């Protein structure tokens, strides 16, 4: 799952990759001059030598930007391990495999809050009244891309059996997926299937064991174009799960043909196909000529059409012919390449943030004049400080927690630690999700030192007297330690003593699971865009070693959660979610900190680019204004 994933990344000392690049470049130069000399010696006369030199120089240079064509160039932050959707768990692998593989459902590109639409399915699922049985019809006429793994090299039609195969393969223990949790305990018979797969001989003996062909009660192809899924209990967010990359449809021919090499190949139904993968350097995807089922969305908010995002409404996708992902392990070369116009989109490296963005959160003029635009997007995450309610003091004194919540200056945290890129949180649900209400504010969700002091006296600890020193648990990392110090500073203002303890991620997790905590810093990033994913963090039965690390138990909250988890988005659900938020605001099991705002940069010639919290790279919707690009870059 995705607890505090991105912000805990350790920064790597810079320069390494840069040096290897330079070393490589100088090596290449040396080799080319040697070859040139050889050419000259062999040919014995000048013209050939000149020709050879020119040729070699051309090879040595970076490709000319003059004839870029309809190409989208984006950076990747690290080398990829795999393109197998069952194993791709990191952001970069997902960005790449998303271009090739598709799922039954996909996220709508422009609609907010996030919602899904059919992709390889023909229409929305038919769900039985009890919410447990899903019947899904496949989109007719969709074919896999042409690939040598198919007889005659021609891609065949996608059937319901391919979906069943893909899910079974993903759940096969031998595949070692990180995504098993999306189906764990949800589909009738699938857990038993996974158990049985443990007895299968290890790869590469049986790529397609007989076990795959046995019918599961809860996962069946009724015919070539109909899938039936039976759930153990209703999960309204199950449609979101069917849109996750883990549930992508893959052809069994590719798995059997490539065997262990499958992770280096990609055979899907998506808008692009993989044409080149130079490990550690770049990946190139070209338009899949057999892709005909994607169209640009026709619906969007009024602001979308004002921003020109609906100009291409209804047009067939994709618009771009070729995608080139270049791998940059270090941020500095990526940044310099972006500024030179060699990339169409880039994140802002932390170290260059002050350079590029003014304190007023607008882009510095020299960047604007280059045609660069700043794009802000709200991430689906929440950062918070968590109390362990099983602690004898913190658990017993609600007013103490309320006072601490009032003494916590979340705005300052955003300023100091997020470069001002954040929204103060008032509930676990981040903006962009069903149930988020920007006007909602809890009674203890703001910074008020006087009120905090008064409440602390009321709780029986005037000026912090009678309280022991509390331990604040956090993880290694300079900014995390500083955030701990900031928390201690905030609490010192009302007389509460805090000791900051720093642990590595495994140690930290271990303490959490064993409930050996008092106060801890935590974060959660959405697994799927449903408020349930956030509200389950405080559901009583999920207490540690589950994800409810606050060990919060409130019978009313728990019963509301059980209702909320099974009803679809509706005014009724909204009411339940709202009541849950109120309960949390009163009980203060967490001190809410903030929701992150993500900032990226793009060049003006990149059209239809809308930040999407779930999809990292929906490139099929993008369009490149080649004229504008030529105008800016010259040539």
| Chain contacts with other proteins (rule: CB under 8 A) | 350-351, 353-354, 415-416, 476-479, 481-482, 485-486, 488-489, 492, 499-502
Half-sphere exposure of 501 (CA within 13 A, CB side): 15
Question: Closest separation between CB of residue 408 and other proteins, Å?
Answer: 14
Burial code of 559-579, b = ≥16 C-beta within 10 A, e = fewer? Answer: ebbeebbbeebeeebeebbee
- Give the closest residue to 290 by CA, choosing from 102, 161, 108, 82: 102
Would you say 454 and 372 are in contact if contact means Cβ atoms under 8 Å apart? Answer: no
CB of residue 9 to other proteins, shortest distance in Å: 14
Helix/strand/coil percentages in the chain, nearest 5 = 40, 20, 45
Q: Are 597 and 419 in contact (CB under 8 A)?
A: no
> Rounded to an integer, what distance in angstroms lies between the CA atom of residue 427 and that of residue 406?
15
Q: Minimum distance from CB of 419 to other proteins (Å)? A: 8
Measured between alpha carbons, how far is 551 from 587 in angstroms, rounded to an integer? 12
Cα separation values, 164 from 132, 183, 554, 609, Å: 18, 13, 40, 34
Report the nearest approach of other proteins to the CB of residue 601 (Å).
17
Q: Which of 72, 85, 65 is nearest to 617 (CA)?
A: 72
Q: Is the CB of 477 or the CB of 611 nearer to other proteins?
A: 477
Spatial contact of 187 and 173, defined as CB atoms under 8 Å apart = no
CB nearer to other proteins: give 55 or 502: 502
Q: Given the complex with other proteins, which of 18 and 488 has the nearer CB atom?
A: 488
Distance separating alpha carbons of residues 409 and 420, to the nearest angstrom: 13
Residue 415 or 556: the one with the smaller Cβ distance to other proteins is 415
Structure token pair of residue 497? 């003593």
Nearer residue to other proteins within complex by CB, 18 or 416? 416
Minimum distance between the CB of residue 339 and other proteins, rounded to whole angstroms?
A: 17
CB of 485 to other proteins, least distance (A): 6
- Rounded to whole angstroms, the Cα distance separating 253 from 151 reads 9
State the minimum distance, in angstroms, from the CB of residue 624 to other proteins.
32
CA 288/CA 142 separation, integer angstroms: 12
b/e sequence 428-451, b meaning 16+ C-beta within 10 Å: bbbbbbbbbeeeeebebbbbeeeb
Query: Between 551 and 593, whose beta carbon lies closer to other proteins?
Result: 593
CA–CA dist 466, 456 (Å, integer): 11
Question: For residues 231 and 374, which CB has a smaller minimum distance to other proteins in the complex?
Answer: 374
What minimum distance in Å lies between the beta carbon of 461 and other proteins?
A: 20
Alpha carbons 83 and 178: distance in angstroms, whole number: 14
* Closer CB to other proteins, 173 or 502, in the complex: 502
Shortest Å, Cβ 2 to other proteins: 23
Tell the smallest beta-carbon distance from residue 415 to other proteins (Å).
8
Q: Which is nearer to other proteins, 286 or 485 (CB)?
A: 485
**Shortest distance in whole angstroms from residue 444 CB to other proteins:** 22
β-pair type (381-387, 519-525): antiparallel
**How many whole angstroms separate alpha carbon 307 and alpha carbon 562?**
40
CB of 378 to other proteins, least distance (A): 23
295 versus 353: smaller Cβ distance to other proteins: 353
Alpha-carbon gap, residue 291 to 273, rounded angstroms: 10
Q: 32 or 501, CB closer to other proteins? A: 501
Q: Which residues contact 337 (CB under 8 A, 6 or more apart)?
A: 75, 326, 328, 343
Cα–Cα dist 156/148, whole Å: 12
Query: For residue 38, how many C-alpha atoms fall within 13 Å in the half-sphere facing its CB?
Result: 7
231 versus 404: smaller Cβ distance to other proteins: 404
d(CA 251, CA 146): 11
How far apart, in whole angstroms, are the C-alpha atoms of residue 358 and residue 373? 13
**Nearest distance, CB of residue 235 and other proteins, angstroms:** 41
Whether the upstream peptide bond of residue 204 has omega within 30° of 0, thus cis, is yes
Cβ 374 to other proteins shortest distance, Å: 17
CB 525 within 8 A of CB 5: yes
């Amino acid at each position: 799952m995705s607890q505090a994933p991105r912000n805990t990344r350790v920064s790597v000392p810079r320069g390494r990759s840069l040096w290897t690049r330079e070393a490589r470049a100088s090596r290449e130069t040396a080799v080319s001059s040697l070859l040139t000399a050889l050419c000259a010696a062999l040919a014995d006369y000048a013209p050939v030598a000149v020709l050879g030199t020119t040729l070699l120089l051309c090879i040595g240079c970076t490709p000319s930007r003059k004839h870029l064509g309809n190409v989208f160039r984006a950076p990747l932050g690290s080398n990829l391990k795999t393109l197998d959707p069952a194993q791709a768990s990191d952001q970069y692998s997902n960005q790449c495999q998303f271009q090739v593989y598709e799922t039954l459902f996909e996220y709508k590109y422009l609609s907010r809050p996030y919602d899904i639409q059919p992709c390889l399915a023909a229409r929305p699922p038919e769900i039985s009244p009890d919410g447990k049985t899903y019947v899904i019809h496949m989109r007719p006429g969709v074919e896999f891309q042409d690939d040598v793994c198919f007889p005659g090299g021609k891609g065949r039609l996608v059937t319901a059996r391919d979906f069943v195969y893909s899910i079974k393969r993903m759940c096969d223990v031998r595949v070692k997926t990180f995504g098993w949790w999306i189906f764990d305990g949800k589909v009738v018979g699938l857990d038993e299937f996974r158990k049985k797969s443990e007895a299968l001989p290890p790869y590469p003996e049986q790529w397609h064991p007989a076990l795959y062909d046995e019918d599961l009660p809860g996962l069946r192809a009724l015919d070539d174009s109909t899938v039936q899924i039976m759930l153990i209990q209703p999960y309204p967010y199950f449609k979101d799960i069917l849109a996750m990359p883990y549930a992508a449809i893959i052809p069994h021919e590719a798995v059997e043909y490539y065997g262990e090499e499958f992770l280096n190949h990609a055979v899907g139904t998506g808008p692009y196909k993989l044409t080149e993968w130079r490990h550690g350097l770049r990946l190139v995807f070209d338009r899949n000529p057999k892709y005909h089922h994607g169209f640009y969305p026709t619906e969007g908010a009024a602001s979308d059409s004002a921003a020109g995002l609906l100009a291409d409404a209804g047009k067939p996708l994709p618009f771009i012919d070729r995608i080139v992902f270049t791998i940059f392990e270090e941020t500095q070369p990526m940044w310099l390449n972006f500024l030179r116009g060699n990339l169409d989109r880039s994140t802002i490296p932390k170290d260059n943030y002050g350079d590029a963005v003014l304190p007023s959160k607008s882009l510095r003029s020299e960047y604007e004049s280059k045609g660069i635009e700043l794009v802000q997007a709200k991430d689906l995450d929440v950062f918070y400080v968590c109390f362990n309610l099983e602690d004898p003091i913190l658990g017993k004194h609600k007013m103490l927690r309320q006072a601490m919540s009032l003494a916590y200056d979340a705005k300052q945290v955003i300023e100091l630690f997020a470069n001002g890129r954040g929204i103060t949180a008032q509930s676990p649900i981040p903006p962009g999700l069903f149930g988020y209400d920007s006007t909602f504010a809890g009674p203890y969700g703001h910074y008020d030192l006087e009120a905090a002091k008064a409440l602390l006296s009321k709780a029986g600890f005037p000026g912090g007297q009678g309280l022991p020193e509390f331990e604040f648990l956090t993880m290694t990392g300079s900014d995390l330690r500083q955030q701990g110090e900031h928390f201690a500073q905030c609490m010192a203002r009302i007389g509460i003593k805090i000791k900051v303890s720093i642990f590595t991620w495994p140690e930290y997790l271990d303490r959490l699971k064993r409930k050996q905590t008092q106060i801890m810093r935590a974060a959660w990033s959405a697994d799927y865009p449903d408020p349930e994913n956030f509200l389950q963090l405080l559901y009583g039965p999920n207490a540690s070693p589950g994800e409810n690390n606050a060990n919060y138990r409130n019978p009313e909250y728990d019963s509301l959660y059980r209702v909320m988890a099974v009803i679809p988005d509706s005014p009724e659900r909204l009411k339940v979610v709202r009541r849950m938020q109120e309960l949390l605001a009163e009980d203060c099991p967490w001190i809410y900190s903030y929701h992150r705002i993500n900032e990226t940069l793009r060049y003006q010639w990149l059209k239809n680019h809308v930040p999407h919290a779930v999809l990292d790279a929906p490139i099929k919707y993008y369009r490149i204004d080649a004229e504008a690009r030529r105008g800016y870059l010259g040539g």
